[in-house]
Every structure is written in structure tokens, then in C-alpha cells.
Amino acid sequence: MAKKCEICGKKPMVGNHVSHAHNINKRRFNPNLQSVRALQEGRPKRMVVCTSCIKSGHVVKAP
């Protein structure tokens, strides 16, 4: 499964994990992706979308 939202295209970002001693390691910030059955062009389809798209109403869940 690709770590990318099928609606908004949100994908992992990179940053640094900084310890108390200021040691720096690279880390990833992954989006909160969920697999949902959503309506696309009037038909249900399994999609991988982020929770912000679900909350904002960009995704219409299939019954």
C-alpha cells in the first residue's frame, strides 16, 4: 500500500528526531491513512484516504 492519500495526495514528510543531547536522526511523519469503502462516480470503491479528507467531507462513504 502506498503511503499516499488518493484524494488530496498527502504523503510522508521528513524531519529530524532530536534527543535531549541534541543528537539528530532522520525520521518520517506518515499521514494518518485509512482504508474506506467510498463512492466514486456513483459506485463503491475501496480507497486509501487520510482522516482529514474523511472529516472534511471530501469522501462519501458507501452504505
The total domain count for the chain is 1
pLDDT tens, position by position, 21-49: 999 999 999 999 999 999 999 999 999 99
What integer pLDDT is reported at residue 63 of this predicted model?
85
7 secondary structure, DSSP code: T
Q: Is the pLDDT of residue 15 over 70?
A: yes
What integer pLDDT is reported at residue 1 of this predicted model?
64
The CATH number given to whatever domain includes residue 15 is: 2.30.170.40
Domain that holds residue 4: 1-63
3-state secondary structure of 53: helix
The whole-angstrom separation of Cα 52 and Cα 59 is 10
